[in-house]
């Protein structure tokens, strides 16, 4: 078995980071873009994940919201819901 780590950094329309320990760096990235009310898009099956819960504890100073009302290969209705959720917070 390989010990390879997957990392990435791209724009989609905002920056996307993929790396080991990335949850621990969300506060840093939010500060970099001066975000005070981020919308976190999270797969529903991860909502009870201990790593995510720990991460969210560090984000208490932010007015974050979570959007998880989507499925793999989201359709236009999912995208519209996500956009509406984003717009409600801004």
Q: What is the pLDDT of residues 3-50, one digit of tens each?
A: 666 666 666 677 777 778 888 888 888 898 898 889 898 899 999 999
The whole-model pTM stands at 0.70
Helix (H) or strand (E) holding 16: strand 15-18
Question: d(Cα 81, Cα 44) in Å, to the nearest integer?
Answer: 15
Pairing verdict, β 65-67 and 39-41 = parallel
């Amino acid at each position: 078995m390989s010990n390879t780590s997957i990392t990435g950094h791209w724009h989609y329309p905002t920056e996307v980071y993929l790396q080991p320990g990335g949850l621990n760096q969300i506060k840093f990235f939010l500060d970099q873009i001066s975000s005070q009310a981020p919308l976190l898009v999270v797969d529903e099956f991860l909502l009870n994940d201990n790593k995510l819960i720990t991460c969210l504890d560090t984000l208490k100073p932010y007015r974050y919201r979570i959007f998880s009302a989507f499925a793999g290969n989201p359709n236009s209705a999912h995208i519209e819901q996500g956009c509406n959720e984003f717009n409600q917070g801004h």
